[in-house]
Structure 1
Amino acid sequence: MKVPADHALILSGLLLAPSVGASTCQEPINHVGEPNSYVQPLNTSILTPYGSSPPVFPSPETKGKGGWEKALVQAKNWVSQLTVEEKAWMATGQPGPCVGNILPIPRLNFTGLCLQNGPQCIQQGDYSSVFVSGVSAAASWDRKLLYDRGYAMATEHKGKGTHVVLGPIGGPLGRSPYDGRTWEGFAADPYLTGVCMEETILGIQDAGVQANAKHFIANEQETQRNPTYAPDANATTYIQDSVSSNLDDRTLHEIYMWPFANAARARVASFMCSYNRVNGSHSCQNSYLLNHLLKTELGFQGYVMSDWGATHSGVASAESGMDMTMPGGFTVYGELWTEGSYFGKNLTEAINNGTITTDRIDDMIVRIMTPYFWLGQDKNYPSVDASVGPLNVDSPPDTWLYDWKFTGPTNRDVRGNNSAMIREHGAASTVLLKNERNALPLRKPRNIVIVGNDAGSDTQGPSTQTDFEYGVLANAGGSGTCRFSYLSTPQDAITTRARQYGGRVQTWLNNTLITEKSMPELWNPEQPDVCLVFLKSWSEENVDRTYLTLDWNGNAVVEAVAKYCNNTVVVTHSAGVNVLPFADHPNVTAILAAHYPGEEAGNAIADLLFGDANPSAKLPYVIAYNESDYNAPLTTAVATNGTYDWQSWFDEELEVGYRYFDAHNIPVRYEFGFGLSYTTYNLTKLVAAKPVASNLTALPEQRAVQPGGNPALWDTVYTLTAQVSNTGSVDGYAIPQLYVGFPDTAPAGTPPSQLRGFEKVWLEAGETKKVTFELMRRDVSYWDVTAQDWRIPAGEFTFKAGFSSRDFHANTTATLLRK
C-alpha cells in the first residue's frame, strides 16, 4: 500500500528482516552477568515454630467498633440461624467461579461470597479495565488518584459480582528490590504505603465492595514462601518449611505494621495472613500477630483469611485468630478439595467435640458477615457473572463440587469510561528521571525512531503469566495478572501523533537486531530528530527477581542507539527498581520510568512525550548506582536440609530503602521522592502553624481502642506550613514532601530522616500557594519496646521540606515535649 506523503512512514523491524542481512540464529540475550544470589550462612540461627513467637489466647471477639455496630447486630442474628455444619463451611473456601468462594445458603437467601484477585484489575474478567499498577499509583503521590483508582476498580468488580477484592497490598513493602511482587504493592516506605493503603481501601469500600489488606506480615520474598513437599507426601508433611522472616519488635511496628495500621483505621473488611513464617511461626497460626497485634493492638474488627494454601493447621489456626481458610483444600495452594480441608468437616468435628468453642466459631462467622451487612451486600447486589468461571485458572469448572447457579447477564461490560481516567493516571504515575537540553517535551519532531521490544503489541495474547520478549509491558505475572480488552501501545500512540503533523516514524522492535547491527545501517540516512527507546523488566509472583538490569539486553540496546543518536530518550516499563548505567551517557537526554501503567500505556506516555501532560510523579523507591549498593538480601538458598532451616533475618532493622542509604551516606543515582517536571518549583518559609500544645505527653492517653489502634495516635500534635512556588513557565503539579529527623534521645538505629507528609498541589506558572503538613502523634513517635507503646522523644526535632528525600529547600526545628 502506498503511504500518502502527509502521513507518517512506518518502517517496522519486528522480525529480523533479510534486507539488512541479520542472522536469525542467535538466541536473544536477556541478561548478562551473574544472577543475584545469597546462600544462607551455615552459622545462621534457626527459629522453629516452637518458643520463638509468644502465644496469645484467646482470639478477641469483634465488637463492631468504628461504625459497624448496627451491622454487627445483623451479623449475630444471621449467624444464630446457622447449623454447626453451615458455620464450618462459611469459614472454608470451595472451588467455584471466583478465585475464592464461600458456598451459598439458599434457605437464608445468602448467595455466597465471591473473592477475586484485584490489585490492578479483575483477573478473571472480560470486558473489564486494566488500571495502573500499585507501584504506579504510589509513584503518583496523589491521594485523590489512589482513591479514584480504588473506587473505579471496585465498581467494575461489583458489576461482575465480586464481594471481596483481594487487595490492596501492604506487604511486600519493598525491603529488597529483588522481591517479585513489589509492583503489586506500593512504596518502599511505610508512611507512603500507609497512605496508599488507606485511600485505596476507602475507595474500594465506598463502592460497596469489601477490601482485603494483604499480606500480613513481613512477607518480603517469594523464594521458599511455601514449604517444599516431597512428590509422594500427603498434604500435611513437607521436606522444608516456608522461610521465616525474623525481626525485632520495633522494626515490626515502625516499618512493616505501620501501613497495616492505616488499613485497619480505614475499616478494611478483611486481612490476609501471609505464606511466610514470622519469628518461626506460620503467619496464619501466629497468635501473637493475629490475636495480639492485629485484633487487639490495632483493634481490627473484620476477618482474617489465609493466603491460598497458607493454612497449615485446623484448630491451631482458628484459635490463633484466622477466621477463613482459602481456597479451602489441601496441597501447596489449597486446591486439592477432594482430599478434605483443615477446616470444613474437621472444623465441624472440632466444634462438636468442644475443641473449638461455640464462641470462637460464632465470632469467626460474625467477623465475616459484619462487613457484608455494613456494605449492604445483602440487598440487590449483582450476581456473579457466569463468564468469570471459565477464566478461573485456580478452580476451573471441572473442579467444582457444588452446582453453582448463575443469574443475570453474562459477559458484562463493566468498563464505563474508565479508560480516560487510566490514561490520566498513567501519565501522572510516570517519573521523569532525566531531561537534558530540554529534550522533552517533543516539539513535532519530523524524523522519529522508535526502538526496543517494549514499544509494540504483545505477541503472547491478552493475558500473560510468563515473561515474553515482544510487546509493551503494562502488567506483570501472578495473581495480579490482568486480561486486556485492548492495549494502547507506544508505537501506535506515537505514530498517531506523528501522522497529525506529517512526521515520519521508523520502528525496530527486535533487540537482538539492534545490538547486532549499527543503527545507521537500519534507519533512513537522514539523522533522526529523536530516538525513543522502550525497554522493560518483568516480575512475577512466586519468583524473585535475579537482576535489577533491564530485560532483553536493555542496556546494550541503549548503548547501540545512543552511540549514533544524540537525542536518545529511554522509557522503561518495570516492576520498580532498575539500575541505569546509561543515565550518564551524554546522548541519553531523557529517561522516564513508566512502571506498569495498564491498558492506556501508549497514550499515557505519548501525552507526556508530546507535552499534553506535565510530569509530576516521584520515585517510591531508591535507584542506586549498582545492584550491590542495596542491603537486605533475600535468602535464595540454604546449604542445610533441616525442616525449619530457611530463615530471613531482617538485620538491617529500620534501615529499609532510603533510610539505609541516608544512614550510611551512600550516593544514589536517583533518590526516593525524586522526579522532574517540565517546570521548576521552590519551597520556602517552613514554619509552625501554631505552638506545640503545652500538655503534650511522651506517651499517648490510653483511650478505648478503635480500628487503627489507640485513637490518640492519630491526633494532630504539630502543624507546619510552607510556601510552594512554580518558578518555571509551565503549569503543573508540585509534590512538596516533609521529612522528620528525630532527637538524639531516640534509640540507636533511628533513621536520620523519615517521610512524614506530602501534598500534591496544582500551580500555574509563577503561582505560589501555602501547603500544610499535619503531623499526628504516631508520626513523631518511636515504638518503645519496654513500654510497649509509641513514645515521643525528648529533645529537638528537625523538620525538612523539599521535593525528595535529599532535596530540602527549607527546615526548622522544634522541641515537642516541655520539661
Structure 2
Amino acid sequence: MMIATSAWLLLVALSSPIVAQEASRSVSEAGFTSPAWSEGLWKARATVAEMTFDEKVNMTNGAATTKCGFELQGVPRLGINRLCFTGGPAGNTNSRFSSTFPATLTLAATWDRDLAHQRGFALGSEFKAQGVNGAGSIVVGPLGRSPYGGRNWESYSPDPYMTSVMVGQTVAGWGGSGCGGFIKHFIGNEQEYLRLGALWTDNGYVTDNITRIINDAIDDATMHEVYLAPFAEAVRFGAPGVMCSYNGVNGSLACENSQVLDLLKSELNFPGYVVTDFGAVFNGTAAAVAGTDFIAPGGADSVWANSFWRDAIDNGTVTESRLDDAVTRNLLAYYALAQDADDYPTPDFQRWVVNSSSIMTEIGKEALTLVKNSASESTGLPITKSVKSIGVFGDTGPRFVGNWPWTSITWDGGINATRHGGYQISGGDSGGSPPPFIVSPYEAIKPQPDGLLSAVEYPLAVDAARVQKAIVFVSSYAQEGYDRTTLKVRTDGDELIAKVASICNDTVVVVNTVGQIDMSAWADNDNVTAILFAYLPGMYGGDSLVPVLFGEESPSGHLPWTIARDISDYDSNTIYNNTYHPTTEFSEGELLDYRYFDKKGIEPLYEFGFGLSYTTFKMSDLKITANHIGDIAWIRETNEIFLNSTDLGQGLYDQSYEVNMTITNTGAMDAKAVAQLYISQPDNASPTRPLRTLKGFEKVMIPAGDSVEVQISVRNKDIAVWSTDHQGWYIQPGQFTLATGFSSRDLPLSTEIFM
C-alpha cells in the first residue's frame, strides 16, 4: 500500500502539476467544528455529483438580474433556485426598504465585541428577510494603511488585532442570522487610485489598462502579521465567502494569484467560495487555476462565459475536479446555513425589513468618543440645566449625506444650505445604503429631555451671539472609487467653527467622519470647549447623540485610529500617487497608525484608543497568570503552523496567559471603561518591530465608586511572530512587556514575562 501510494503521487507530480496544485486546495472535511457545516459539505458534494456539466458551469458564472446585485443561476431541476447576492457594509446598497446601520468604523469605535456580534446578526437578518443568500458586507480590506484611503470607513481599524476580534464576532452574528455575509477584499486593497488602472481623470470605475493597475509588494511577514490576520479569524468563525480584489499582489492580480489564494484556501483552510470583485479577472484560466470559484457579476461577457470551462478542460489547462470544487464551495453555505429550507425568503428588495432601531441606536451611542472637554457648570459637555439657549450649526438638519443608489451627496435643505451640507450618516457609493428615513441631530435635540428648558434653534453663524451654547456639526466624506485628497472637514467646516467660536465662547464640535481629519485649525481653540466624534452613525444618529450630549449617559467610545497633530506626521509612503506600472512597497511593514507614531517618536494630537468620560477611572492590581485553556474554532480550524506546538503541547489559538486588573470608577457617574492590553516583543528595538501592539481589550460598566476586576485572555498567537524561514508562527525567547491602561499612550501598569 505504501509503495502504490508513493507511485501514484509521483505519477501525479510528473504528469499533471495542475492536478496536484488543485488537489492541495480543494475543500476538505478536516477542520470543521460545526456539524451543520460538515453536513453542508456532504450535501454540496452530493448535489454536485447529480449535476450536468452545463449546470455546474452555470453555478460559477454570475447571471444578469433585476432583483439582486448579482446572482448564480441555480439548478431548478434539483430544487435550487437562483442564489441572490448583493452588498453593503451598512445595509443593502440596492434597497430603500432596509436600514442604514452605523458604519463598520463606528462599530470599531465602540470597542465592544458583543455589539459586533449583535450588529452582524441584525444586518444579516434584514438581508435574509429580503431574500439575500450572500452579502458583501464585511470589509477588512482596506485595513486602513493610509488615512487617505477612500474606503477605510467600510472597515474597522488599521490595527489588525482589533479588526480580527471585531470581524470574528461580526461573521458569527451573520451566520446566526442564516444569511451569509462574505468578506472583502482579499488582499492588499488599500487604496482606490489605480486599483482598476484608472487615472484621476477617469470616473474611478473604468478599467483602463492592466499595466496601470496597482501592484502591492508585500513581504511574507507583513502579509501574515498584518493583512492576513483578520481573514484568519473570519475563517475560524465561519465566513461563507471571500471577495478577491482588483489590485495586484507581488506581481499578479489578486484573483489570478495562486500564491495569494493558497494562503486563503490552504494555510487558512478556508472552505467557502472566492468571488471576484466586478470585472477583476482578465485571464479566466489563470483565475480558475489559482482558485477563484465565482465570477461576478458574470453574464454573457464574462471571462467564464460560453465554452470557457469546456475548452479549458479539453486542452488540459483546468480539470473538471477544479470545476466540481468551485461549485461545491459555492453551495456550501447554502446548505450549512439552511438556505435550502422551503421557507427561506424569495428576493424582494422592496420588502420592508427595518427592524433594528435599538441596536443601531446603541452602537451609535457606544461609539461616541469625547476627545476634548473643558467641562464646568455651564460649558463643555454634558449640557446642563443652566444652559437656556442652544444653537445648532453646520452639517445637520433634515436631509443627509450618504448613499442614494450610485449618487453621492444630498444637500441639506435647511437655512445653512448655501454653505453647508446635510447630516452625514454614511459614506457613499457601494459601501453606503439609502435610508428609508433619518433622525437628524437637530430633530433629536429640539425635544429636550425632561427638566431642560433650553431653546434650540438653527441660526446662521453670524447669529451665534444669540445662544449660550453652540453645537457645530462638521464632517468628512469618502466613497468607493476615489481616495481622499484632503483630511480637512468639508464645506468650509474649519471656517464655520472659527466663526462660531469667535462669537460664542462655549462651542461644542461634533464630528461625523469617514476617518482621521485635520483638526489643527481648531482643536486648541479655547472657545471650543468640547469635541465629540460621532463617526458615521446611521439613520438613528440623532437618537444616539442626545443621551450623551445631555448627560443621561457618559461617552464610552475610543478612537480606532490616531489623530495627528499635523497631517505631515502621517506616513506619506502608505499611498501611491504615480501613474504607469505602479508598484507600492509595503516597506512600513507592521508600522501602521499608532505603531508608526510610537516608533518614530511622534506625539499625536489624540492617540489610538483614546477617549474621555464624564467620570474618572483608576487601574490597579495588575496580575499575569500562566493558564492554558484549549481553543476550538467556532466553525473551522485553520492549517496555520505553530512551531512551538510540540514543546508547549498547545495550539496556536489556545489561551496561554490570563491578565487581570482592577478598574475603579473614582467619579460620580456610572460609566463604561475600556481596558486595553499592549504587548512588547523581545526584539521591539529592531527597526521593523513595533514598540508595542494591542493584544486585548474589554469594555465594562462600572457604577460610580465601585471597582470591577477585568480579565483579558492572551492566546499563543497574540505573542507569536511569523517565521518566513520556517513558514509558521513562533514565540521568541526573551522578555515580553505587558502594559495595561486606557489608550496606546496611557498605560499606567506593566509587568514582564520571560519565554
Fold in common (TM above 0.5): yes
Greater shift in the superposed pair: 62-71 or 427-436: 62-71
- CA apart distance, 1:127: 2.4
Counterpart secondary structure, 1:155: helix
- CA apart distance, 1:673: 0.3
* CA distance in 2: counterparts of 1:487 and 1:708, whole angstroms: 45
* CA distance in 1: counterparts of 2:297 and 2:405, whole angstroms: 22
Matches within 5 A, 1:101-500: 101-228=71-198, 238=209, 240-291=211-262, 293-328=263-298, 337-386=299-348, 388=349, 411-416=350-355, 418-438=356-376, 439-444=380-385, 445-458=387-400, 465-469=407-411, 470-497=421-448
**Partner of residue 30, structure 1:** none
Counterpart secondary structure, 1:682: strand
Q: 1:588 aligns with which of 512, 528, 543?
A: 528
| Partner AA of 1:614 in structure 2 | S
**Partner of residue 57, structure 1:** 21
Q: 2:638 aligns with which of 686, 695, 707?
A: 707
Q: 2:49 aligns with which of 57, 80, 83?
A: 80
Counterpart secondary structure, 1:199: helix
* CA distance in 2: counterparts of 1:689 and 1:635, whole angstroms: 42
| Partner AA of 1:766 in structure 2 | G
**Partner of residue 48, structure 1:** none
**Partner of residue 676, structure 1:** 612
Greater shift in the superposed pair: 538-547 or 738-747: 738-747
Provide, for residues 208-266 of structure 1, a one-character-per-residue CA deviation record: whole Å limited to 9, x for no partner. 111211111111000011134999xxx99836331011111111111111111111111
- CA apart distance, 1:433: 0.9
* CA distance in 1: counterparts of 2:306 and 2:532, whole angstroms: 51
Q: 1:787 aligns with which of 726, 744, 747?
A: 726
1:457–1:472 contact (8 Å) kept in structure 2: yes
- CA apart distance, 1:638: 2.6
Provide, for residues 629-667 of structure 1, a one-character-per-residue CA deviation record: whole Å limited to 9, x for no partner. 10043555436x4xxx11111121111110000001100
* CA distance in 1: counterparts of 2:639 and 2:686, whole angstroms: 25
Identity %: 35
Counterpart secondary structure, 1:760: strand
Q: 2:569 aligns with which of 629, 651, 654?
A: 629
CA 1:56–1:465 in 2, change beyond 3 Å: closer, same or farther? farther
Counterpart secondary structure, 1:222: coil
CA 1:105–1:464 in 2, change beyond 3 Å: closer, same or farther? closer
| Partner AA of 2:621 in structure 1 | K
**Partner of residue 406, structure 1:** none
- CA apart distance, 1:341: 3.1
* CA distance in 1: counterparts of 2:328 and 2:195, whole angstroms: 30
2:109–2:559 contact (8 Å) kept in structure 1: yes
- CA apart distance, 1:60: 1.1
| Partner AA of 2:445 in structure 1 | I
- CA apart distance, 1:745: 7.8
Paired residues in the alignment total 701
| Partner AA of 1:656 in structure 2 | L
2:149–2:483 contact (8 Å) kept in structure 1: yes
Matches within 5 A, 1:566-715: 566-581=505-520, 582-638=522-578, 641=580, 645-690=581-626, 706-707=637-638, 709-710=640-641, 712-715=651-654
2:93–2:405 contact (8 Å) kept in structure 1: no
Provide, for residues 453-495 of structure 1, a one-character-per-residue CA deviation record: whole Å limited to 9, x for no partner. 3344238996573235421000111211211111001111111
* CA distance in 1: counterparts of 2:597 and 2:603, whole angstroms: 7
Counterpart secondary structure, 1:532: strand
Under a length normalisation based on structure 2, what TM-score does the superposition of the two structures give?
Answer: 0.89
1:175–1:632 contact (8 Å) kept in structure 2: no
Counterpart secondary structure, 2:266: helix
Greater shift in the superposed pair: 682-691 or 491-500: 491-500
- CA apart distance, 1:499: 9.4
Counterpart secondary structure, 2:443: helix
Counterpart secondary structure, 2:303: coil
Counterpart secondary structure, 2:145: coil
Provide, for residues 44-77 of structure 1, a one-character-per-residue CA deviation record: whole Å limited to 9, x for no partner. xxxxxxxxxxx99335111133133221111111
**Partner of residue 10, structure 2:** none
CA 1:347–1:257 in 2, change beyond 3 Å: closer, same or farther? same
- CA apart distance, 1:601: 1.0
* CA distance in 2: counterparts of 1:682 and 1:266, whole angstroms: 35
Provide, for residues 92-130 of structure 1, a one-character-per-residue CA deviation record: whole Å limited to 9, x for no partner. 111102112101321111112111112101112232111
2:595–2:690 contact (8 Å) kept in structure 1: yes
List runs of 5+ in structure 1 lacking aligned partners: 1-54, 329-336, 389-410
Under a length normalisation based on structure 1, what TM-score does the superposition of the two structures give?
Answer: 0.82
CA 1:632–1:69 in 2, change beyond 3 Å: closer, same or farther? farther
CA 1:590–1:190 in 2, change beyond 3 Å: closer, same or farther? same
CA 1:764–1:344 in 2, change beyond 3 Å: closer, same or farther? farther
**Partner of residue 533, structure 1:** 472
**Partner of residue 396, structure 1:** none
1:79–1:362 contact (8 Å) kept in structure 2: yes
2:396–2:442 contact (8 Å) kept in structure 1: no
| Partner AA of 2:568 in structure 1 | S
- CA apart distance, 1:350: 2.0
CA 1:447–1:254 in 2, change beyond 3 Å: closer, same or farther? same
Provide, for residues 691-750 of structure 1, a one-character-per-residue CA deviation record: whole Å limited to 9, x for no partner. 789xx9xxx9xxxx9237358210111111111111111101110000001113886511
1:178–1:634 contact (8 Å) kept in structure 2: no
* CA distance in 1: counterparts of 2:20 and 2:219, whole angstroms: 17
1:57–1:287 contact (8 Å) kept in structure 2: no
Greater shift in the superposed pair: 492-501 or 541-550: 492-501
1:71–1:374 contact (8 Å) kept in structure 2: yes
- CA apart distance, 1:504: 1.5
Counterpart secondary structure, 1:759: strand
Greater shift in the superposed pair: 710-719 or 742-751: 742-751
* CA distance in 2: counterparts of 1:90 and 1:463, whole angstroms: 28
Whether 1:726 and 2:665 are equivalent positions in the alignment is yes
1:731–1:764 contact (8 Å) kept in structure 2: yes
1:313–1:342 contact (8 Å) kept in structure 2: no
| Partner AA of 2:408 in structure 1 | T
Higher relative contact order (CA 8 A, sep 6+): 1
* CA distance in 2: counterparts of 1:792 and 1:746, whole angstroms: 17
- CA apart distance, 1:164: 0.6
| Partner AA of 2:698 in structure 1 | E
